Copies of this chain bind each other. A is one copy, B any other.
Amino acid sequence: MAGSTFGTHFKITTWGESHGKGVGVVVDGCPAGLSLTEEDIQKFLDRRKPGQSKFSTQRKEDDTAEILSGVFEGKTTGTPISLMVHNKDHHSKDYGEIASCYRPGHADYTFDMKYGFRDYRGGGRSSGRETIGRVAAGAIAVKILEQMGISFVSYTRSIGAVSISSSPEELLSEPPAEIARNILSNPLYMPEMEPCHQAQAFLETCMEQKDSAGGVIECIITGVPAGIGEPVFDKLDANLAKAVFSIGAVKGFEIGDGFSCASSTGSKNNDSLTMKNGRTSFVTNHAGGILGGISTGAPIIFRAAVKPTPSIASLQNTVDKNGKDIELSIHGRHDPIIVPRAVVVVESMAALTLLDLMLEQMGSRMEYLQQFYSE
């Protein structure tokens, strides 16, 4: 299992620690013939880059991706694409004092229990920097999916108690590219301005109180054809759940109406089917675009709950490696909220999952095989 590899057909393997030489990813199984440049990757990495606003860590990293293999004359060759980002601005000495204690809300204690010791510098492998590899790979997956008419709209739905008011359906009244532009125009990646300002005010209070906040990320995928996803264990929603839950701070995942389904009734929750412009379609989308683990053709809608950043400057009780109760205050450069920077990570994981299942789907019927091999 090992655990640093994700996907079956479009398979990624990430590596690297916060304060090592760098972080990277190997993407294996990328179809040959895709135009790909380092700029394609960079656009995605920039969405998670630190230091963009006062609400993200002031660590200065260019986070510049280098393509080391798998691209020839501007096109993917079908062989592994190795991508690397060098670490630069790491202040390892900042972490000297936490080497011997367990920060609450972090993986310090669990890593020690698992491996006997840990690379404590900046969280080592459990650092958010590990997600750079995911985002670099996600950029490739999204580019491939776009060429098949699939679009992603990913944003911050809420921060603390502040939430946007539009439903996904309401947001979709505008074209995906338009919504994306709105989202990227503000540092919290919210698609509505009013809650965005409220959230900023809330975050400033958090920071004054040496505290941190969490929030909810929502992702809408449009253009997915019906039929994607495997019916039993590799359901599209099950694989999305795993993909998104594998992101460090995620504590909840739901699809369509999610937890509110539990208090609904069958007659309200079922989405009626109807013919519309000669095509089978759904009157509502409580299901979030997936039935029986397989895409319906309606937009796929899911949400992830992200916990407040565990690194806070206020005093906390904890223990050290020698089993002594101590008090700890975490200094250094930390995001008061990681939700905005995690938006692109969620989108990336969703794209990797979807593409993998779309590749699987190509062999699902005898007629597909016969067509393919008769050409």
- Which residue from B2, B209, B225, B263 sits with its C-beta under 8 Å from A158? B263
Considering the chains assembled together, what is the distance between the CA atoms of A256 and B232 in angstroms? 26
* Nearest chain B residue, comparing its CB with the CB of A256: B251
A332 within 8 A of B: no
Q: Is the CB of A78 within 8 A of B233?
A: no
For A1-37 the 0/1 string (1 means CB < 8 A from B) is 1111110111101111100111110101101111000
Contact of A80 among B9, B15, B68, B228 (CB under 8 A): B15
In the assembled complex, which residues on chain B have CB atoms less than 8 Å from the CB atom of A93? none
Enumerate chain B residues within 8 angstroms of A17, measured Cβ to Cβ: 69-70, 72, 77, 79
A302 to chain B, nearest CB (A): 10
Question: With an 8 A cutoff between CB atoms, is A346 at the interface?
Answer: no
In the assembled complex, A165 has its CB within 8 A of some CB on chain B: no
Give complex CA distance A243, B244 in Å.
Answer: 14
Q: How large is the interface on A (under 10, 10 to 19, 20 to 34, 35 or more residues)?
A: 35 or more
Contact partner of A251 (CB less than 8 A), chosen from B113, B130, B257, B367, is: B257
22 pairs of residues in contact across A and B, judged by CB atoms under 8 Å: A1-B357, A2-B11, A6-B233, A13-B80, A16-B69, A31-B365, A33-B367, A75-B117, A105-B291, A106-B292, A109-B296, A113-B296, A113-B297, A115-B364, A211-B265, A246-B293, A252-B252, A254-B305, A261-B306, A267-B312, A275-B323, A362-B362
